[in-house]
Amino acid sequence: QPERTLVLIKPDGVARRLTGEVLRRVEAKGYSIVALEQRTVGADLLREHYAEHEGKPFFAPLVEFMSSGPVVAAVVEGHRSIEGFRALAGATDPTTAAPGTIRGDLGRDWGTAVVQNIVHGSDSPESAAREIGLWFPAL
Ligand code: CMP
């Protein structure tokens, strides 16, 4: 089975009407969207999703931000899609993310406690399996 990754369009991306632009880039790259849903999620799911960041100073603001409005969750499929989507997304910090990437082209620093960087992509096959199970338990 081709590799799958979990992509999230975060509340800043949805609020800025970037859903179509992000999905366009995923499809233009050649990946398939095998599941897609917009929803507003609670703190419990987000604490699990971001378990690796528990204890860090930005953990609470991050959970707060991610539950502040709708997100778009997608399962994206294709060989090396985990690495490939992270390349499309660009570096975590949108100020310095390379132009040509989602964060580099569309993101900036808004002076908020949490870096708002439009998208999330799983960082390893283990994270992808765990995150897809969390967001799309029926898959
Ligand atoms: P991401 O890498 O998708 O997942 C963790 C998120 O936490 C990250 O995107 C940013 O949105 C946020 N983040 C990471 N590091 C910091 C930091 N030092 N300060 C504020 N927010 C951060």
What rounded mean pLDDT belongs to the chain?
98
Q: 6: Cβ below 6 Å to ligand 1?
A: no
pLDDT of residue 60: 96
35: which DSSP letter?
E
Active site residue 79: no
Q: Distance from the CA of 40 to the center of ligand 1, in angstroms?
A: 19
Strand order in the sheet with 32-39: 32-39, 71-77, 4-9, 119-121
State the complex-level ipTM.
Answer: 0.89
pLDDT tier for residue 1 given thresholds of 50, 70 and 90: confident
What single-letter amino acid sits at 92?
T
At 46, list the tokens: 């987000």
Confidence (pTM): 0.96
pLDDT of residue 83: 98
What does the radius of gyration of the chain's CA atoms come to, in whole angstroms?
Answer: 14
CATH 3.40.50.720 fits 4-135, yes or no: no
Say if residues 117 and 9 touch (Cβ distance below 8 Å): no
